[in-house]
Chain A
């Protein structure tokens, strides 16, 4: 792994560039990445997530478009979304399977007009740079960036799906995904950011960076779903910039893979903004999933609420780090975080650390974390009604996570996630079929 990293750090060359601003952008990322130290077990942010599994990091994207069979598209299909969908396969836009409406709604960086170029230059990288701690893999994404997706919303954007899919390939490759979402004042939008793959053994790592700017009084419903095959790897980050009275509702779902790391950072930059950040993780077998979240309260009168739940099965391992950082002038902040975990088997592991860092006095903050097994009383209740122990376990595990899914405002997403979740616990889905 260290060799691979050094190789990466020296190999990094700017992509085949056409955009004038991109060269400097790539250069800055490359410089930052080159000088960065390799995370080890002693690096606080990577204490529980060894990068030893990361052996596929290639300096470039999978160069050629691949041929793939139609069933792949099925993985990108979310019923009820009226085909408002953008599909990338191995990092390359697949126009054939993307809908015309979706293509019209977004702009590729490479096809942006002067005004859009200015918007990209204004925000791209800047939202991610607001974080106090440097992110090695965001730098890498900056360095390797050749194209990305701009979603500029002026008024209203119905639920739009953007899928990054990978296929099974012989050679290891990296997908660099980049999404910039800018909501103008009073705008409203809903997006599904989806990372998937076909059902065979994957040889890819996706490095995804999403930057979101929500201007005054705008609101965004954001789903970030990872449903790829367990052999696919993902290292991504999502950065949200909240302006006055902006509202962000993020839902992050991770079903786990050999290495899955997500850094979610929300910046409350202006007063009155609200953030609801929810997430689920359900790794199984020997999967690993890691969520590092950070809510930066920089302005007064903001509220944030964070709920993450996870179930670890088999030998799976999960890491959760939820940080709430209240800056000196962020008075009257209300911030809450809850993280609940279930360990189903010996061998499963959870490492959770809810953090509070508070520099203002007139605030109310609370966090709670639990690690437990299924509630004995609930088990008894079900068993006393003739449900077998195994079935009761499935029902309760499913219900534990489904509680968060039920709260999602979009039925299409609920309908997508519920069966996926059901198959995790109940392999023939006879028990969870009618629930919800």
Chain B
């Protein structure tokens, strides 16, 4: 993702081409394929495939039916075309919908039993499980392709009453919770990709925080797409019961691949009265090479429902994927509910991103804040698309939106499409957006003080994103800063 090909019509600063050339051959750092046998289903999708997936996981009858209902709805739906992204048509019949690491059959009981090849993959990505367990105090539910292979710290969490397990296990262990909340935030028919996900979802995380419990540690899931031509369809369901709190971290990276891979996840958050969920994402899927070949298609539906006095905070750093289509949303259902959205979206080369949020204010005195920073470099397209809706019951509701775009290079594009709908006279909505470039003045100031152009741009960009980074948990903030730096290398122009 560091490869850049900039043709500059009006060269502002001479001598940077050499700098760019020097960095052109840099390869995607997380690009490697792990050699593990996988149990993969032949490409294609029909009701039998849906049944196969459900059967393979030993799911109860109601869930099989639930999947089939979604599948039938999906067949009648059309792929959405309104997003400001362009990609070749996806042949959904050419994808494989199930893949599980072979070693799973034996059912590892502890880390020692886990396929060493798997562990090495995580090591390469800088996620040493042991270290994290010992030092960071983070429980990791690692999703390798589709099936969870390691869940740690379960006992510590169990003491607090927190349930943190793969959703496929939760279906058996806590059917009443899954049945009650699955699809309650993102219904099967919600949109094209959510319907597809509902039909074929592979696995994902399930979290339940009991009443009044403050989750003793930050929960984290790392997952990566590993098997060639495998779509990955995570389904995450987090329920924060009354008065509870949890911070959930999600980060991902994918190995290098030539063919586009589809990633259609669904994340559902239920935040009951007085509870709070903080959901942070660092997304670094493979973005394709410098010519726009390959890369992940990331079509994600994320939504949260906040009940009375509840709070949701979405923080995301998006640097990867060839195409991103993602709108983490908040339905502020109860009175005094709070929704927050902090986002940094960086696109380079031929990446395309159409991302933003929806804030649906239903309750009285609900509040929402949107801070979105888009950085567009190379030949990429970066769009913010947001909706703020004040429904007739949203008395005294408040929204503040700020979305800024930074353009680096004269062949990229930045767009802003904010929808504002207000139906209550006492609701207040404020929206501000700016678009600008890294100015020559700023660069001059830095270079004059002996900072080279690359460093200067990195500094300016980091400053630009500061408001969002400060919302991230510490470990993530470090990773995000690094990611941004790596992603931007060679794009100075």
Binding site for B on A (CB under 8 A): 44, 48, 328-329, 331, 341, 343-373
Contacts A331-B410, A341-B422, A357-B413; A364 near B435 (Cβ below 8 A)? yes
Bin the interface of chain B by size.
35 or more
Task: Determine the residue in chain A with the shortest Cβ distance to B411.
Answer: A328
User: In the assembled complex, which residues on chain B have CB atoms less than 8 Å from the CB atom of A373?
Assistant: 425-426, 428
Shortest distance from the beta carbon of A407 to any chain B beta carbon, whole Å: 23
B269 within 8 A of A: no
- B416 and A351 contacting across the interface, CB-CB below 8 Å: no
User: In the assembled complex, which residues on chain B have CB atoms less than 8 Å from the CB atom of A349?
Assistant: 421-423
State which of B245-253, B401-409, B459-467, B468-476 sits at the interface with chain A.
B401-409
Bound complex: CA A60 to CA B430 (Å): 45
User: In the assembled complex, which residues on chain A have CB atoms less than 8 Å from the CB atom of B427?
Assistant: 343, 371
Shortest distance from the beta carbon of B84 to any chain A beta carbon, whole Å: 8
- A358 and B420 contacting across the interface, CB-CB below 8 Å: no
User: In the assembled complex, which residues on chain A have CB atoms less than 8 Å from the CB atom of B424?
Assistant: 343, 346
Task: Determine the residue in chain B with the shortest Cβ distance to A335.
Answer: B435
Contacts A353-B418, A356-B416; A344 near B425 (Cβ below 8 A)? yes
- B425 and A354 contacting across the interface, CB-CB below 8 Å: no
B214 within 8 A of A: no
- B410 and A355 contacting across the interface, CB-CB below 8 Å: no
B359 within 8 A of A: no
B35 within 8 A of A: no
- B415 and A356 contacting across the interface, CB-CB below 8 Å: yes
Bound complex: CA A371 to CA B424 (Å): 10
B179 within 8 A of A: no
Bound complex: CA A343 to CA B390 (Å): 12
Contacts A44-B82, A366-B434, A372-B429; A355 near B415 (Cβ below 8 A)? yes
User: In the assembled complex, which residues on chain A have CB atoms less than 8 Å from the CB atom of B409?
Assistant: 361
- A372 and B434 contacting across the interface, CB-CB below 8 Å: no
Task: Determine the residue in chain A with the shortest Cβ distance to B440.
Answer: A362
- B419 and A362 contacting across the interface, CB-CB below 8 Å: no
Task: Determine the residue in chain B with the shortest Cβ distance to A48.
Answer: B421
User: In the assembled complex, which residues on chain A have CB atoms less than 8 Å from the CB atom of B437?
Assistant: 361-363
Known: A361-B412, A363-B436, A370-B428. 7 other contacts (CB 8 A): A355-B415, A357-B415, A357-B416, A360-B410, A363-B437, A365-B436, A369-B430
- B422 and A356 contacting across the interface, CB-CB below 8 Å: no
B89-131 vs A, CB cutoff 8 Å, 1 = contact: the mask equals 0000000000000000000000000000000000000000000
- Closest 7 pairs between A and B when the two form their complex, measured CB to CB: A361-B407, A356-B416, A343-B425, A371-B429, A371-B422, A365-B435, A369-B431
User: In the assembled complex, which residues on chain A have CB atoms less than 8 Å from the CB atom of B412?
Assistant: 361
User: In the assembled complex, which residues on chain B have CB atoms less than 8 Å from the CB atom of A343?
Assistant: 422, 424-425, 427
User: In the assembled complex, which residues on chain B have CB atoms less than 8 Å from the CB atom of A358?
Assistant: 405, 407, 413-415, 435
Chain B residues numbered 368-422 whose CB sits less than 8 Å from any CB in chain A: 390, 392, 405, 407-422
User: In the assembled complex, which residues on chain A have CB atoms less than 8 Å from the CB atom of B419?
Assistant: 351, 353
Bound complex: CA A372 to CA B396 (Å): 10
- B425 and A370 contacting across the interface, CB-CB below 8 Å: no
Contacts A44-B82, A355-B415, A361-B410; A366 near B432 (Cβ below 8 A)? yes
